Structure 1
Amino acid sequence: MKKNIEEFLYGVCYYPEHWEDEIIEDDLKRIKEAGLNVIRMGEFAWSKYEVEEGVFNFDFLISAVELASKYGLKVILGTPTATPPAWLTKKYPESLAVTYDRKVMHHGSRQHVNHTSKKLRELSKRIVRKMAEEFKDYDNVIGWQIDNELNCGLELSYADSDAEAFRKWLKNKYGSLKALNKAWGNVFWSLEFTDWEQVSVPKPTPTKENPSLLLDYRRFYSDMTIEFSNLQTEILREVTPDKFITHNGLFNVIDYDKYIKEGLDFLSYDSYPHFGERNKVGDGKKWSRNLSRVRGYDNKFIVMEQASGPGGQVDYLLPTPEPGQLRLWSYQSIAHGAFGILHFRWRTCPYGAEELWHGILDYDNQDNRRLKEVKQLAAELNKFGDIFLEAETQADVAILSDFDNKMNDQIETYIKSDENEIYQGLRAENISVDIISDIELIDNYQLVFCPRMMIIDDSMLAKLKAFAKASGTLVFTARSGIKDKNNHYYRQEFPGKIRELAGISIRDFTVIPEKEYEQGIKFDQELLKPEQFVEVIEPDTAQSIANYTNRYYNKQTAISENSYGAGKVIYYGSFFNKDGVRKVIKKLKDDLNHHKFGEIPEEVEVVKLLSGDKIYYLLLNYSDQAVRIDLDSEYINLLTEKKVKKVIEKYEVVLIKMDQ
């Protein structure tokens, strides 16, 4: 199991700095009485710890940690570097972040600094060391959360210190201006550099910037963010080696595979499914895609902030979780790999930018239906927590979405990746999916989708070929295999690097006019709809398995299938929509060891869990209506100890143990 974790963690985020001393002990007593066992504290309180430069006082947090110990509550402490105090940014304005259009961020919110500022790094290391020394001997402090939601408020900064660090990073990577000019193709538009001082961060220009520069800047900024975090990790490892270290992602421009390997014991995540509920009741199910991505980075994780009440800030407010949804969404996190859940937050703060971000309790501090639901879940986790602590979610299918290609999707936006449509289509068929970034993991799956994988080098190609040869199935979508790591197009026939693997050539291509989606693809007596882009495929060693139905590419190949070793490679000459994925996956289901209970409606998510030598399934109904199901047998819902076969009530959760 993960470091220093001996039981399923179920708790809340708690902010003693927001409350009067006389109610803090009562809060912690009630938290314990609710059946919770852990609290997170401290991540936004730098101005309380260091009121003026070099003057430290942790008394309020020491008192809270000691009271937590009195009531048998474990504590996760957050380092406070997401909220530098006013004195810091006033005295050291070079620490402030700068946006692309050269607006300087200021004190008054959070995450308003740049991670390359030498002064910010110096002062961050000092406050982290002070905290570590202060709390190293508290046994109930079990771990640290680094910062909070890195790159959430501002995903890129363009400050002077960023430019200086970028030049250093480029010198390290390329060694010379000649190599840099070649790697970026700077001969185009006379962009060649003759002095390192000419090299800077991306800046506003009359027309579009060089995509090679933009990709390298994202790689650089990810490295700087990880480096900033690792400065804290090194101190915490030195001073508190017995306590775990995590961070609550996922946000943009961070290579989390690299981050976890270099600086974390495991990843954490903040889960707010009611962002999906803004569009339609039940769309919180779509939030599973984010949890599947977290699991693709780290198969077991903590949800450090789990939705409790309506959430919002001054310009928006998310729907209030209906009775049953708080519990449902918590089980959604558990189903996808969480071994700990902390609700955000215990009580709603009556002031500040997040005064609309409600916790379990409202401003009035009275017991309510959400607290009742938390107590129900706490009782269930007390009974079944050991299962979920060890259980690993089993997926036969992966979506490969590596860092470089994900970043390039944000640079080349003339089309968008169909990753979400692929994921939602597979989950509609209740096929479990991991979204992975590390290509080394593909051997763990039977079927791997590679959506819009433009950047593929020799190393990646070798891994893909080995996977297919060993009986794996690969599915590529349009615009795959055509660029190198410098973000240059290969000077060879499309689909570039994967031409031999896919057994095809691309003879023609076109974007589909925005309002012109009447084209079709005839596939296995089904009609699919191409999206955004069309490639005309000429099979070489591959076979044509679907044709276009109109336009100048009528009757030409739209989908191909190539036998490769013991496996096969599907090339889809367009981009998927959800319906298209569902139709194509029916042809590929024979490649999967996919257990089907019977007829399960789309509103119900089915997730397979392996705990030791035992197999469990969680069924979650996201609908606000009871739904009919047709299971292949009669099962007992372990959570309620009642039989289930024909109906699952609205927002209900079913836990089934399978006989082997």
Structure 2
Amino acid sequence: MSFKKILYGTAYYYEYLPYDRLDEDIKMMLAAKINVVRIGESTWSTYEPEDGKFDFSKLDKVLDAMHKAGINVIVGTPTYAIPSWLARKYPEVMVQVSGHRKAYGARQIFDISNPIFLKYADRIIRKMISHVANHPAVIGYQVDNETKHYGTSSSNVQQGFVQFMKHRFNGDLDALNQEFGLDYWSNRINAWEDFPSMDGTINGSLQAEFEQYRRDLVNQYLKWQVELVNEYKLSNQFVTHNFDFEWRGYSYGIQPDVDHFKASEPLDYAGVDIYHPSRKHLTGAEISFAGDEMRTLKNDNYLVLETQAQAFKQQVPYPGQLRQLAFSHIASGANMVEYWHWHSIHNSAETYWKGILSHDFRPNPVYNEVSQTGAELDRLSPHLVNLKSTAEVAFLVSNQSLTAMKNFPFSDKHNYNDVFRSLYDEFYKLNIHTDISDEHHINLSKYKLVVVPLLYSISDQFLEKLNEYVKNGGHVIYTFKSGFTDEHVKVRTVPQPGIISEACGIHYELFVDPDGCELVPEDKTISKESDLGLKDWMELLIPDTAQIIAKYDDPNWKDYAAITKNKFGQGSTIYIGCYPSQGVLRQLIKNYVDELGIQRTEETFPIIIKQAKNELGKQITFYFNYSSQKLTIQDIKAGTELIKDRQVSGQINIDPWGVLVVEGQ
């Protein structure tokens, strides 16, 4: 599917307003060139105030008014926040976590697999979507909202998991016990009816399998909603969902509770909610990594269904940042940028998660910048819609490895996503374009280089594919702990790193904590002036055929390697057997990609450069300045800078938190 223009908009909650100001809001939206709103996903109790009594009058009022104004509407199914009457009548729909059922109040605290919940969710979805599907304002639907499994371990989930395992092992309990090591501490299961609740398990391998099962519940739930909506939607309407990420006050890394790659399969478009640090902490990396994953999910443009306007006090943007960020989303492949949300809420949980408008509803600097950006996007939309880009580098991420390493952590300070982001951020800052995929969806042959952080739990078959990829001319960067266990988190019985030892040219028998140890560079790859300190983990690598890039400075470990490089067949690998500083990673990555001839620019962060082809067949280059200083870009190829409609080439200045969009001649 292709869009005719860039969609620029906001989530809008007429139901939350302290008084009716729909006409005034639309007037302000039109002035800001807002052309899309998302509605309806949060207000089940408004549309069904009593069991079986439906009232869509407020929904209709907004749809009619938006259509009259020429503003498109995305309607959300309202299932992520259930009405109080449903929880009162059927308390068993509330999510049970570790034997305790949560009390009603917050959103997303129900069991997504509970048959009673699904019965009522089915009814509200059918009633609502059939009611709005033929409305001319509606261009698409968002199913649910930031869906996860919410930690559910209710009895029906436990029973479902037992059936899942029974099917996976063809009813063979001996095979199950052997594969998961259940003889340990007398955890052996000798009859399927004795299968214990997963709430108390001490078996990390079995726990990881349970997490996979719960992620699959999310896949099934979203697929079920998509199929319901597809029964009613028109051929020119789309279905999406707003995926989110690990949350650290902002979007940080791979979502532990959702397999984005599998869950996105039934969607027409991948959608995403992206939040990020602001002001002097803003780097744009969160927008970039989230965009790289979303674009790769469907190999297509994606939709930003939520990103921050004002948000919290620590996230109020500097002047220019909102405008810069809108263009950043588009540069990564977004066809829509939508703010959460239009107006700040006057009571309840998110009172101080502020929208475009503050509590007084008056124009303010954020609204004014949204308006400026809207006018620019409206004018430039033919040049920026449906941008396409290709990458020579892919990150290979793994939900299974992330989950397994929660049960078997390598550190009490850092996790899977820390290692992923430590690598990703350096590629980003070096202006090296990347895709992000997983072991089930990646097409290895598309890429010159694959970066593999902490691939701890993975099948023999896929590791053999990686070896073959290198042998045939591909290149891989591995980190420590890769290849350590199979897909059931069972440690391999060969010298580590097991199957990939062949391509990496190393093995190891011992791993230790650094305890103050530092790196000793063995060649010019790493400068001695770098921060050579180590965090959390050291593998004592024994080179077989590999070249040593760095050793350890502890005289007791002086005979072991820390980082190696190996030629294998027509390709090569780098194996990082420790957790080094960002400076060391930056040098490793820079030298390796230059050796491989992978495209990058001489400019580095805080100048960020993104490139894509537009529908006019021309190359679009975005230049971003992620700093508070005016900077100079040294070598801009001749073209038209679209925002100011001027010819540029060679050296040019870029304002603090500024953006240039150059269309090549």
TM over 0.5: yes
State percent identity of aligned pairs: 28
The counterpart of 1:164, out of the listed 152, 159, 163, is 159
> Following superposition of structure 1 onto structure 2, how do residues 60-71 of structure 1 map, counting pairs within 5 Å?
60-71=58-69
Question: In the alignment, is residue 9 of structure 1 matched against residue 7 of structure 2?
Answer: yes
Residue 545 of structure 2 corresponds to which residue in structure 1?
A: 541
Residue 270 of structure 2 corresponds to which residue in structure 1?
A: 267
For each residue in 1:39-98, what CA deviation from the matched residue of structure 2 results, as whole angstroms up to 9, or x when unmatched? 100001100111111111111101211111111111100011111000001111111112
Residue 306 of structure 1 corresponds to which residue in structure 2?
A: 307
**Cα distance in structure 2, aligned partners of 1:234 and 1:442:** 31
Residue 570 of structure 2 corresponds to which residue in structure 1?
A: 566
* Residue type of the alignment partner of 2:303: I
**Cα distance in structure 1, aligned partners of 2:517 and 2:105:** 47
Residue 423 of structure 2 corresponds to which residue in structure 1?
A: 422
Aligned pair in 2 of structure 1 residues 258, 186: CA closer, same or farther (>3 Å)?
same
For each residue in 1:495-549, what CA deviation from the matched residue of structure 2 results, as whole angstroms up to 9, or x when unmatched? 1121112222214321223xx2444444426234443222222222333333333
Aligned pair in 2 of structure 1 residues 35, 632: CA closer, same or farther (>3 Å)?
closer
* Residue type of the alignment partner of 1:510: V
* Residue type of the alignment partner of 2:562: A
**Cα distance in structure 2, aligned partners of 1:229 and 1:286:** 25
Residue 250 of structure 2 corresponds to which residue in structure 1?
A: none
Q: CA deviation at 1:337?
A: 1.5
Residue 468 of structure 1 corresponds to which residue in structure 2?
A: 470
Asked if structure 2 preserves the Cα contact closer than 8 Å seen for 1:269 and 1:294, the reply is: yes
The counterpart of 1:215, out of the listed 189, 208, 216, is 208
The counterpart of 1:383, out of the listed 337, 357, 379, is 379
Q: CA deviation at 1:378?
A: 1.4
**Cα distance in structure 2, aligned partners of 1:135 and 1:200:** 46
Residue 91 of structure 1 corresponds to which residue in structure 2?
A: 89
For each residue in 1:322-371, what CA deviation from the matched residue of structure 2 results, as whole angstroms up to 9, or x when unmatched? 21111112122112111111111111111111111111111111112222
**Cα distance in structure 1, aligned partners of 2:495 and 2:599:** 41
Quote the RMSD (CA, aligned, Å).
2.2
The farther-off stretch of 372-381 and 160-169 is 160-169
Asked if structure 2 preserves the Cα contact closer than 8 Å seen for 1:482 and 1:489, the reply is: yes
**Cα distance in structure 1, aligned partners of 2:211 and 2:600:** 42
Residue 642 of structure 2 corresponds to which residue in structure 1?
A: 638
Gaps of 5+ in 2: 246-255
Q: CA deviation at 1:595?
A: 4.6
**Cα distance in structure 2, aligned partners of 1:610 and 1:463:** 32
Aligned pair in 2 of structure 1 residues 70, 21: CA closer, same or farther (>3 Å)?
farther
Residue 607 of structure 1 corresponds to which residue in structure 2?
A: 610
Aligned pair in 2 of structure 1 residues 512, 503: CA closer, same or farther (>3 Å)?
same
**Cα distance in structure 1, aligned partners of 2:396 and 2:380:** 33
For each residue in 1:375-432, what CA deviation from the matched residue of structure 2 results, as whole angstroms up to 9, or x when unmatched? 2111221222233322124332222112211222322223333211111122222222
* Residue type of the alignment partner of 2:613: L
The counterpart of 1:149, out of the listed 146, 159, 165, is 146
> Following superposition of structure 1 onto structure 2, how do residues 207-606 of structure 1 map, counting pairs within 5 Å?
209-242=202-235, 243-251=237-245, 252-261=256-265, 263-273=266-276, 276-277=277-278, 280-298=280-298, 299-311=300-312, 317-415=313-411, 416-417=415-416, 418-438=419-439, 440-513=442-515, 516-524=516-524, 526-527=527-528, 528-598=532-602, 600-606=603-609
**Cα distance in structure 1, aligned partners of 2:489 and 2:599:** 41
Asked if structure 1 preserves the Cα contact closer than 8 Å seen for 2:33 and 2:374, the reply is: yes
> Following superposition of structure 1 onto structure 2, how do residues 5-44 of structure 1 map, counting pairs within 5 Å?
5-19=3-17, 22-44=20-42
SS in 2 for 1:629: strand
SS in 2 for 1:270: strand
* Residue type of the alignment partner of 2:350: E
Asked if structure 2 preserves the Cα contact closer than 8 Å seen for 1:248 and 1:268, the reply is: yes
SS in 2 for 1:149: coil
* Residue type of the alignment partner of 1:421: S
* Residue type of the alignment partner of 2:127: K
Residue 195 of structure 2 corresponds to which residue in structure 1?
A: 199
**Cα distance in structure 2, aligned partners of 1:201 and 1:331:** 49
The farther-off stretch of 221-230 and 284-293 is 284-293
SS in 1 for 2:101: coil
Asked if structure 1 preserves the Cα contact closer than 8 Å seen for 2:517 and 2:552, the reply is: no
SS in 2 for 1:343: strand
Aligned pair in 2 of structure 1 residues 507, 458: CA closer, same or farther (>3 Å)?
closer
Residue 106 of structure 1 corresponds to which residue in structure 2?
A: 103
* Residue type of the alignment partner of 2:370: V
**Cα distance in structure 1, aligned partners of 2:212 and 2:113:** 14
The farther-off stretch of 51-60 and 16-25 is 16-25
* Residue type of the alignment partner of 2:43: A
Q: CA deviation at 1:658?
A: 3.3
Question: In the alignment, is residue 182 of structure 1 matched against residue 184 of structure 2?
Answer: no
**Cα distance in structure 1, aligned partners of 2:593 and 2:36:** 42
Asked if structure 2 preserves the Cα contact closer than 8 Å seen for 1:447 and 1:591, the reply is: no
**Cα distance in structure 1, aligned partners of 2:19 and 2:65:** 11
The farther-off stretch of 536-545 and 492-501 is 536-545
**Cα distance in structure 1, aligned partners of 2:520 and 2:545:** 24
SS in 2 for 1:390: coil
* Residue type of the alignment partner of 2:630: A
Asked if structure 1 preserves the Cα contact closer than 8 Å seen for 2:94 and 2:101, the reply is: yes
Asked if structure 2 preserves the Cα contact closer than 8 Å seen for 1:397 and 1:446, the reply is: yes
* Residue type of the alignment partner of 2:502: E
Asked if structure 1 preserves the Cα contact closer than 8 Å seen for 2:320 and 2:658, the reply is: yes
**Cα distance in structure 1, aligned partners of 2:353 and 2:158:** 36
SS in 2 for 1:150: coil
* Residue type of the alignment partner of 1:303: V
The farther-off stretch of 263-272 and 484-493 is 263-272
Q: CA deviation at 1:228?
A: 1.7
Q: CA deviation at 1:236?
A: 0.9
Gaps of 5+ in 1: 312-316
SS in 2 for 1:180: helix
Asked if structure 2 preserves the Cα contact closer than 8 Å seen for 1:285 and 1:605, the reply is: no
Aligned pair in 2 of structure 1 residues 296, 604: CA closer, same or farther (>3 Å)?
same
**Cα distance in structure 2, aligned partners of 1:504 and 1:285:** 33
SS in 2 for 1:430: coil
The counterpart of 1:629, out of the listed 626, 633, 648, is 633
**Cα distance in structure 2, aligned partners of 1:111 and 1:344:** 18
**Cα distance in structure 1, aligned partners of 2:220 and 2:48:** 24
**Cα distance in structure 2, aligned partners of 1:297 and 1:250:** 14
Residue 125 of structure 2 corresponds to which residue in structure 1?
A: 128
